[in-house]
Amino acid sequence: MKQSKLFTKTRREAPADEVSKNAELLIRAGFIHKEMAGVYSYLPLGLRVIKKIENIIREEMNAIGATEMIMTALQKKEVWEKVGRWSDDMVDVWFKTKLKDGVELGLGFTHDEQLVNLLTEYISSYTDLPLYVYQIQTKFRNELRAKSGIMRGREFVMKDLYSFNRTQEDLDKFYEEVKKAYMNVFTRCGIGHRTYTTFASGGTFSQFSHEFQTVSEAGEDTIYVAEDKGIAINEEVLTDEVLKELGVEKKDLVLKKSVEVGNIFKQSTKYTDPFNLFYTDEEGQKKSIFMGGYGIGVTRLMGTVVEVLSDDKGIIWPESIAPFAVHLLALGDGEILQEASKIYESLQKSGVEVLFDDRAEVSAGEKFADADLLGMPYRAVVSARSIKEGGIELKKRTEEKGEIISLEELLKTLVP
Amino acid sequence: MKQSKLFTKTRREAPADEVSKNAELLIRAGFIHKEMAGVYSYLPLGLRVIKKIENIIREEMNAIGATEMIMTALQKKEVWEKVGRWSDDMVDVWFKTKLKDGVELGLGFTHDEQLVNLLTEYISSYTDLPLYVYQIQTKFRNELRAKSGIMRGREFVMKDLYSFNRTQEDLDKFYEEVKKAYMNVFTRCGIGHRTYTTFASGGTFSQFSHEFQTVSEAGEDTIYVAEDKGIAINEEVLTDEVLKELGVEKKDLVLKKSVEVGNIFKQSTKYTDPFNLFYTDEEGQKKSIFMGGYGIGVTRLMGTVVEVLSDDKGIIWPESIAPFAVHLLALGDGEILQEASKIYESLQKSGVEVLFDDRAEVSAGEKFADADLLGMPYRAVVSARSIKEGGIELKKRTEEKGEIISLEELLKTLVP
C-alpha cells in the first residue's frame, strides 16, 4: 500500500484524556481512533493487525477441533434470568436497551447462557458430543472506568470458545489442550516469553481456573511467579494452603504486574443443568453435560503487544501480526522515487506485504520517525546513498544499524 | 467437513412465529438460529456463506480503490445532534443505551456522521483527496416489525462505503464506478440477472439516488421496470415528469415486487459542511468536500439469494457463496463408507470444499432430502450401485439426473 493513499497521519500528541501507553501510541500512529473512553474505531492499519491476530487464533482453534459460528449482541432477558445474571447487582457491566414495544434487551458481555440455550435445540444424544464451538465477536461491557486504552474496552473484540463433554474427565482433557493452544496463540503473537499460565480462582465446580497473564507495568492484575517451577499464581488465590498444594514456597515468589490476555474456566454443569441441556447415553440414560469456557480478548491482546514490545520511538510489531512486513521509504523524488517504485512493485509481485512511503514533501527525518512509530518489522530505505552503494538499506525495527543489500537479497529476506 | 461433526441438524419445521421463506429454510437447514424477531445467530454453515459474500464485496471495494476500516456500534449523542438525527422523531429505528454515569449512547444504524466527525482529524488538504473508505460491520435498527427473516434484521451485517471528493463532478464519476462494482457483487453472488439498478428518491443535493432491487415476491418494495430500455424506477419517484425525463412511457412499465439489496446516494456537502470537514486547495482556499454513501446489506443479500434461488426442496446456493462446493454422501457403511472416505480425502487434498455426510444410521432418503435442503451446488453419491458402475454419482443441485463418473473426472469438475 502506498502511504500517500493512507488517510491516517501520524500525530505528535495523543488526545489529552488518553492516559494509556497502548492507545496513545496506536492513536499517534494512526491505527485507532478514540470515539470515547473505552470505545475505539480501527483504522486501516489497526484493522490489519486485528485480522492477523484473529487468523492466528482461528488456526489454533480449528486445530483442536473447534468450529466457528457467530452469535448476536442483542440478548434476551429471560435467558439471563435463568441463572440470575440479568440483575445489575449480579453483573455490573451491563449495557441494556429496549425494543420499540418496551421489551428490555441486554448487549452481550459474554455468551455462555445464549449458547447453552441455543444448543438445547441441537444437542440431545451422546453422538452429538464432544462439541467445541467458538466465535470472534464484538462484546460490550459498561465499565465504570476505561482508562487502559484498548486493553479494557467498553466495546471490544473477543474470541470465546465453549466446550461440551460427556464427563468431567473429558472436560479436563480438553481443557489441557486449550491451555496449549492458548500458549501457541500468545507465542505466535510475540508475547509468549512474557505470558504465564496462572492459577486463578475457580468456582463451584473446580478449585482453580487459569488466566494467561502477560507481564507488563500497565497491567491491572498482580501475580506471583515462581520462575524455577514455571508456576504463576494470581494474588486472589495466594494462600498458604494453595502454596502448599502447588509445592511452592513463599520466598521463591516474585510479584509482577500483568495483563490478563486470556482465561479458561471449567463451568462443568453450572449452565447446562439449569438450561436442561442434557444428553442421552448408549443405555438411554439422561446425563449431564460438562462445559468449559475459554476467552481471549483480541483487541486487548493487540494493546498488550503494544505495551510490552514498544520502545521510546514507537511500536515494534512482531512479524506475525504486523500490518505490513516491511516499510519501504523513498528518500527523494525523481530517480530515487522511480527506483523505489520499482522495488515496491517487485515486493508486491512476490507477495510481500509492503507499506511504501512515497509521500512527496516529507523530510527524511519525518519518514524515519514515522517508520519507527508505525513499527513494521523491517525498514527498507531507498536514497541517493543507497543507490550509489548498490541497493537498498535494510534494517530491522529492533536493530540500530542497517546494511545495504541488493533487490535479490531483499526479496530473499522478505518473501514469505 | 464431516457432517457427523456438525452440531446443527436439519429440521422439518421452522419456529411457528417465522413467516419468511428465507429464515424458514435457513433455520430448517441449520444455517441460522433465531434469537428473537430480526435477530439471528449464524451457525457454522451460515457463517461460511456470510464470509464468502463479504470477501466478494471486499474484492470489489478494493478494486475501486477503497480502504477497509471498522467503526464502533456505540456512538455519541453529540455527533448525531449536529445534523438533527438523534431525536427519535427524526430516526425511528434507534436503539439507545447509557453509560454508568447516565450519558446516553446510540447503537449505530449507519455511520455517516461518525465517519465525517472522525475524518476531521485527518483530512485537511487537497492532497488527502479523493478518499474512499468502507467497513463490514454489525448495525442495529430497532424495527417495529421484523417479519422478513434475515432480510430485515434488528441486528445485521452491512458493508458501508463512503467517498470524499473535491468536486461534484468527481463524486459523479466515482458514483458510476460504484454502480458497476455493485452490479459485479450481485452478479457474482448469483442474483445479477434479477437485480435492477433502480431510480429512487434523491435528496437536497441530487434528484435521484439509486437502489439495487432484486425481483422477489418476498420484497417489501415496488418497482416499475421498462425491460427494453433497461430502466427500473421505484414507485416512490414514479411521476409523469420523471417518466418524461427518463424517456419511458407508462405503458412499457411492468410492476414488480423487489428487495433492496443495495443503495447508493450522493450526500454531497450535507454532512461534510456541518462537521467542518473542508480541504484547502492548491491556492490555499478552503473548499467543501463532496461525499457519497453506498450500502450493501450482507445478511440481507444472503436472505435474498435464498428467497430467489430456492425450490420446494430447499436452498440452491450459487457456487460463489455456497458453504461447500460439494455435498458428498456415503449411502452405507463398511466398504461404501471406506470408499467415500477416500474420495473425501482426495477432494480435501485437492482444495475442494466438501461437506461429507458420513453419518451412520441415517437413511439414504434422509441424506438425499438433507442434501437438497442444504443446497450445495453439487451432490456426489457413493453407494453400492455407484461403486458397481465404477465411480461416483455426480448431480448438480439444479438438475434432476446425475451421472456416474470416476474420481479423476470428479476432481476435474470440482478442483478450483
Per-residue model confidence as pLDDT tens digits over A281-328: 999 999 999 999 999 999 999 999 999 999 999 999 999 999 999 999
* B27 contact A CB<8A: no
Instruction: For residue B57, give how far its alpha carbon lies from the nearest alpha carbon of chain A (Å).
Output: 17
Task: Please report the pLDDT score of residue A15 as a whole number.
Answer: 83
> Rounded distance, CA B15 to CA B119, Å?
45
Domain A326-414 in CATH 3.40.50.800:
yes
Q: Along chain A (416 residues), what's the average pLDDT of each consecutive run of 10 residues?
A: 94 88 97 97 98 98 98 97 94 96 97 97 96 98 94 97 98 98 98 97 89 96 94 95 94 96 97 97 98 98 98 97 98 96 98 97 96 98 96 97 96 94
Helix boundaries (H) for B249-401? 298-309, 334-349, 364-374, 384-388
Q: Along chain B (416 residues), what's the average pLDDT of each consecutive run of 10 residues?
A: 94 88 97 97 98 98 98 97 94 96 97 97 96 98 94 97 98 98 98 97 89 96 94 95 94 96 97 97 98 98 98 97 98 96 98 97 96 98 96 97 96 94
Identify which of B267, B273, B291 has the alpha carbon closest to the alpha carbon of residue B130: B291
Same fold, A3-309 and A326-414: no
To the question of pTM greater than 0.90 for the whole model, the response is yes
Task: Please report the pLDDT score of residue B384 as a whole number.
Answer: 96
* A97 contact B CB<8A: yes
Task: Please report the pLDDT score of residue B416 as a whole number.
Answer: 85
> Rounded distance, CA B307 to CA B259, Å?
10
Q: Which CATH number fits domain B11-309: 3.30.450.20, 1.10.10.60, 3.30.930.10, 3.10.580.10?
A: 3.30.930.10
The residue ranges of every structural domain in chain B are 11-309, 326-414
Q: Is B138–A138 a contact, with Cβ atoms under 8 angstroms apart?
A: yes
Task: Please report the pLDDT score of residue B206 as a whole number.
Answer: 87
Task: Please report the pLDDT score of residue B93 as a whole number.
Answer: 96
> Rounded distance, CA A105 to CA B324, Å?
35
Angle at B129 between CA B127 and CA B135, to 5 degrees: 135
Longest dimension (CA), chain B: 81
Instruction: Give the Cβ contact number of residue B212 at 10 Å.
Output: 27
The answer for A 98-157 residues in CB contact with B (under 8 A) is 98-100, 107, 114, 118-119, 121-123, 127-128, 131, 133, 138, 140, 142-144, 154-155
Task: Please report the pLDDT score of residue B17 as a whole number.
Answer: 87
Q: Is A41–B69 a contact, with Cβ atoms under 8 angstroms apart?
A: yes
Task: Please report the pLDDT score of residue A14 as a whole number.
Answer: 84
> Rounded distance, CA A338 to CA A332, Å?
10
> In whole angstroms, how far apart are CA A362 and each of A315, A366, B388?
21, 6, 73
Question: Hey, is A276 helix, strand or coil?
Answer: coil
Q: Which CATH number fits domain A3-309: 2.40.100.10, 3.30.930.10, 1.10.10.10, 3.30.70.260?
A: 3.30.930.10
Instruction: Give the Cβ contact number of residue A157 at 10 Å.
Output: 22
Beta strands in A141-253 (DSSP E): 155-165, 195-201, 208-215, 221-226, 231-234
Instruction: Give the Cβ contact number of residue B60 at 10 Å.
Output: 21
> In whole angstroms, how far apart are CA A356 and each of A144, A150, A172, A341, A416?
41, 27, 49, 8, 18
Q: Which residues of A touch B100 (CB under 8 A)?
A: 142-144
